[in-house]
């Protein structure tokens, strides 16, 4: 992959066998040239046996990356860069820690590598602590599948950095489960070790507040209550990791006269991984 650093930086699209493109969160134009081995060669040639193993494992990484992105809750909508790429890369790091399983079928155990998600920020331009300058208290309990977030009173003039100069803001919190990923020999694919928890999300949002006011203490209590058809186990199974994320988004006055979110105007972070 090459970067374009000339006056051609305004070009995107395909010209003959070259494709010019940009990446979310940046203005740099990249150049990718078409070519390489065919799909048939990769699928059948002995030369690409290791590539096939790597591709098989990468399918597990992208599946894990997708569910970790979902675990960011509402904060993922504030991202100013391609979060899924970062999540896929984190998933690959997790997979590389599995050294006692066959190459091409290695499991992904987030439950054994929880720190890789801790502190993840969904924004590159602003981080959570630079915008929300008060100490937030958090706790999570695997025995009851519950969490609590306490945001102290905020003097917005001193402790809120309104980097887009917008009139409103609000908080939201979420607690989401992520299952470890294992390779299913029968189905020849990666599956969730405990699928009943997958895609479940518990989230709450505060009211909209003026960006130039004294904000009272906010307390959020989250409790996992799954539909009856699921097989909820308490305490939470070891193969399930609970992810607690907190976000702040700024808003403006919408067409109906009520506050409405502004795209990319906010910050979010993973505060706890349990």
CA-based nearest residue to 195, from 177, 176, 179, 213: 179
Please provide residue 21's backbone torsions phi and psi, each rounded to the nearest 5 degrees. Answer: -150, 160
pLDDT at 60 over 90: yes
Q: Rounded CA gap, 13 and 259, in Å?
A: 37
Per DSSP, helices labelled H in the chain are 39-44, 49-70, 83-96, 128-131, 156-159
Q: 83-96 and 49-70 helices cross at what angle (nearest 10)? A: 120
User: Which residues, including other chains, have CB under 8 Å from residue 123's CB and lie 6 or more apart?
Assistant: 78, 79, 80, 81, 264, 266, 267, 268
Q: What is the pLDDT of residue 54?
A: 84
- The percent of residues above 90 in pLDDT, for the chain, comes to 66
pLDDT at 229 over 60: no
Spell out where the chain has E strands.
2-4, 13-15, 18-22, 29-33, 137-141, 146-151, 154-155, 168-179, 181-184, 189-192, 202-205, 209-210, 214-215, 218-223, 240-253, 259-273
pTM: 0.83
Q: What residue spans define the domains of the chain?
A: 2-33, 42-273
Torsion of CA 92, 98, 101, 102, to 10 degrees: 30
pLDDT at 68 over 60: yes
**Per residue in 4-37, pLDDT tens?**
555 555 666 566 566 665 665 566 776 666 655 6
Q: Rounded CA gap, 136 and 123, in Å?
A: 19
The burial of 115, by beta-carbon neighbours within 10 Å (0-12 exposed, 13-18 middle, 19 or more buried), is given as exposed
Q: Answer yes or no: are the C-beta atoms of 91 and 68 closer than 8 Å.
A: yes
User: Which residues, including other chains, have CB under 8 Å from residue 122's CB and lie 6 or more apart?
Assistant: 72, 75, 76, 78, 79, 80, 83, 247, 267, 268, 269
**Per residue in 19-28, pLDDT tens?**
665 665 566 7
Mean pLDDT of 100-126: 95
More confident of the two residues 230 and 104: 104
Q: What is the pLDDT of residue 175?
A: 93
pLDDT at 148 over 90: yes
DSSP state, residue 132: B
Cis amide prior to 235 (ω within 30 degrees): yes
């Amino acid at each position: 992959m090459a970067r374009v650093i000339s006056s051609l930086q305004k070009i995107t699209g395909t010209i003959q066998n070259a494709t010019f493109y940009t990446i979310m969160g940046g203005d740099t134009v990249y150049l990718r040239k078409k070519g390489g081995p065919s799909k048939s060669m990769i699928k059948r040639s002995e030369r690409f046996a290791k590539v096939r193993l790597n591709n098989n494992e990468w399918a597990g990484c992208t599946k894990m990356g997708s569910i970790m992105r979902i675990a960011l809750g509402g904060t993922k909508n504030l991202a100013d860069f391609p979060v899924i790429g970062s999540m896929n890369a984190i998933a690959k790091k997790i997979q590389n820690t599995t050294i006692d399983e066959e190459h091409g079928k290695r499991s992904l155990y987030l439950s054994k590598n929880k720190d890789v998600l801790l502190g993840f920020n969904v924004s590159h331009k602003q981080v959570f602590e630079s915008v929300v300058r008060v100490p937030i208290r958090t706790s999570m309990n695997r025995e009851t599948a519950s969490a609590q977030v306490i945001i102290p009173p905020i003097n917005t003039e001193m402790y809120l950095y309104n980097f887009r100069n917008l009139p409103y803001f609000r908080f939201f919190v979420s607690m989401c489960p992520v299952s470890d990923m294992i390779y299913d020999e029968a189905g020849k694919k990666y599956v969730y070790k405990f699928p009943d928890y997958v895609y479940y999300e518990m989230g709450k949002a505060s009211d909209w507040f003026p960006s130039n006011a004294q904000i009272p203490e906010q307390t959020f209590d989250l409790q996992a209550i799954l539909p009856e058809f699921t097989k909820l186990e308490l305490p939470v199974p070891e193969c399930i990791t609970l992810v607690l994320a907190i976000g702040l988004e700024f808003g403006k006055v919408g067409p109906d006269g009520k506050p409405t979110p502004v795209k990319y105007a906010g910050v979010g972070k993973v505060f706890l991984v349990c």
